[in-house]
Each structure stands twice: as C-alpha cells, then as structure tokens.
Structure 1
Amino acid sequence: MAFALRRTTARAFPVLGLILGGLLVVAACSRPAPEAALREAVAAMEASIDARDAGALARQLDDDFIGPGGMDREGARRTAALYFLQHARIGLVPGPLSIDMHDSGAQVSLTVGVSGGNSRLLPESGQVYDVRSGWRLRDGEWRMTSIEWTPKLR
C-alpha cells in the first residue's frame, strides 16, 4: 500500500505543477491588453456622460487635451456641464469602435448618435457624428488627447 501511495503522490506533483503553472500564466495574462484597456476607457467615458458627471469626464482627458476650436481640458469640462444643465436627458448610441494602435498611442474612430432634451418621450434635438479621437497611455491609464467630430446629417 505504501508503494501505491508513493507512486500516486509522485504522479500528482507534476500534475499539480502543471496546474499551478497554468494558473500563474492566466494570472499574468489577466491584465487587459492595451486595446481592451482602451475599450474600457472609452466605456468609462460613456458612463461619465450617462451619469452626467462633467468632472469624471474631464479626469479622463489628458493634461494637454485639445478639442475643437482649441478647447482645453477645463473648457471641455465646462462645455459638458453646460450641456448637462441644458438637457435633462442625453442619449448616446455609439457604433462599433475602430481602433488604430501605434507606438505613441492610439486613434479611436466611431459613429455616434446623440440626442438631448427635456421631454420624457421624445428628444428635442439629435445628430449623428463621425468621431475621431486620439489617446495616450499615461501612468498606466488611457487618456484622451484630442477629439474631433463631423455631423453626418445636414
């Protein structure tokens, strides 16, 4: 019986080693890949808009963010706060993201439908935009560095 126990234990160690090694590999790979982390950052920005939180939105912008007309990070925060005050309801319907990763960052492009208003039933205004934004990985977090949008409906 002792021989059988030693033999079973001897077989168990390599199997246990493989299982533990596999768990370590999975744990090492659990950090999101850069593109997945960027998609999470875009989703967090969308969540900030849904929550009507201009401060959280601005915190996702890089320190040297530049928007349309030379808008800086603080200007973007104030503009978002103004829209949140003007419209009780803001709706976003984003299309699929197109992500172009490069050495210094990434570019994210998408088409998004935006609506706003104070009515409970129908939005008072709406537009579809082609949006292109630049992103940089800073201190382990993706930050938006630039954005531009073009209306699709005239």
Structure 2
Amino acid sequence: MDHRAPPGGKAQCSYAGGIGTAVEARMARARGEGGAVAGRCRVAAVLALCALCALVAGCARTPPEQALREAMGELHAAIEARDAGGVAALLAGDFIGPRGLDRDGARRLAALHFMRHGDVGVLPGPLDIEFQEGHARVRLDAVLSAGSGRMLPDSARAWQVDTGWRLVDGDWKLVSAEWTPMLR
C-alpha cells in the first residue's frame, strides 16, 4: 500500500493492482455527474445507519423488563447472602405463597433456612417473563443447594418456580410464589 500526498494536499491511498485508482475513478465520476451518485450514496448510508439504530433499539430490553430482572437478581443475591430482611424487602405487603404463607411467614421461613445452613446457593435457569399492565409473571427452574460450609453442598434440589410481580411506585414487588420439586 502506498500513502502519499499529492501537490493538491489530499492524501491518496493506492494498492498494488490498481484498486485505489478504481475507487478514485468512481469518486471522480460521482463528482462529474453533479454529485448525484455521491448524494444517493450518502442517503443510502444514512438510511442504513437509521435501520441499524432501529434494529439495535428494537433488541434492547424495555425498562420494565430490565427493572424486573434486576429485582430477580436482588432476590437471588439476598438468598445467597442469607439475608432474610433483604428477601422480605422484595415481598409485597400482600404476598401470598404456598399454603397461605404470608410476607412475615416467608421472612421467618427464609431466616430458619439460613440459620440451619451455613451456605445457601441458587442456580436459576432462564426466566420466562409475561407482562400485563403493571404486573408480570416469571417462571423458571432453579436448583437450590444448602450446606454447612464444606466444599460440596449437603443437599441440592431442583424446583419449578412460578412467581407473580407487581409494579409498586416504580419498584417490582413479589406478590405470589409457588414452587414444586422437579423430581419426587
């Protein structure tokens, strides 16, 4: 490749085999036609850029989904940190769980489980999220493990989890949860 500046002051780039001259010839033709070809190329480039931006924006998560995923992450972190108060902070005041478990009962159940086991782990699967106005349903499979701090957990179990969430003052709160063992 040869980079040189001609007397006119604009840099040129040419490859062996004349590729650079072909590009220069196309550019000269475009300028010679009153810039119509160059103008069409610019319009096409702008349209392609707009299409790319629209595609990227379409793939981005909506703010409610992102906030819900963050709330699920906070719940995951609170469980692994063995923080019953952190778990309760994500529960709505009218939370309902299996067999009539209420918010305070869920906090006590979490605290008992955390006192019983020195290590608690959660391995969540992919989230299946369904949105409705101000509400969401999240289903997932998760493996919960518990141990006494040794290298391997003392127990682990796979669960099917079905949760209901509600948007309260801009925050997602867990309003219902059902969990059933995957293997019996």
Report the TM-score range of the alignment, normalised by the length of the smaller protein: 0.7 to 0.9
Residue in structure 2 matched with residue 100 of structure 1 by the alignment: 130
Tell me the distance in 2 between the aligned counterparts of 1:41 and 1:134.
12
Tell me the distance in 1 between the aligned counterparts of 2:162 and 2:126.
12
Matches within 5 A, 1:113-124: 113-124=143-154
Residue in structure 2 matched with residue 86 of structure 1 by the alignment: 116
Matches within 5 A, 1:20-59: 33-59=63-89
- The gaps in structure 1 that reach 5 residues or longer are 1-31
CA deviations 1:31-75 (Å, max 9, x no partner) are x61011000000011111111110111010001000011011000
Residue in structure 1 matched with residue 39 of structure 2 by the alignment: none
SS at match of 1:128: strand
- The CA deviation at 1:99 is 0.3
Residue identity matched to 2:133: D
SS at match of 2:161: strand
1:73 aligned to 100, 103, 108, which one?
Answer: 103
Residue in structure 2 matched with residue 8 of structure 1 by the alignment: none
Tell me the distance in 1 between the aligned counterparts of 2:85 and 2:121.
19
- The CA deviation at 1:104 is 3.9
Tell me the distance in 2 between the aligned counterparts of 1:140 and 1:148.
24
Larger Rg: 2
SS at match of 2:153: coil
Residue identity matched to 1:134: G
Residue identity matched to 1:41: A
Residue identity matched to 1:148: E
Runs (4+) of structure 1 moved beyond 2 Å? none
Residue in structure 2 matched with residue 150 of structure 1 by the alignment: 180
Residue in structure 2 matched with residue 127 of structure 1 by the alignment: 157
Q: Percent identity?
A: 51
SS at match of 2:175: strand
Tell me the distance in 1 between the aligned counterparts of 2:80 and 2:148.
15
CA deviations 1:70-108 (Å, max 9, x no partner) are 011000000000000000011111001010001240000
**Larger relative contact order (C-alpha < 8 A, sep ≥ 6)?**
1
Equivalent pairs counted in the alignment come to 123
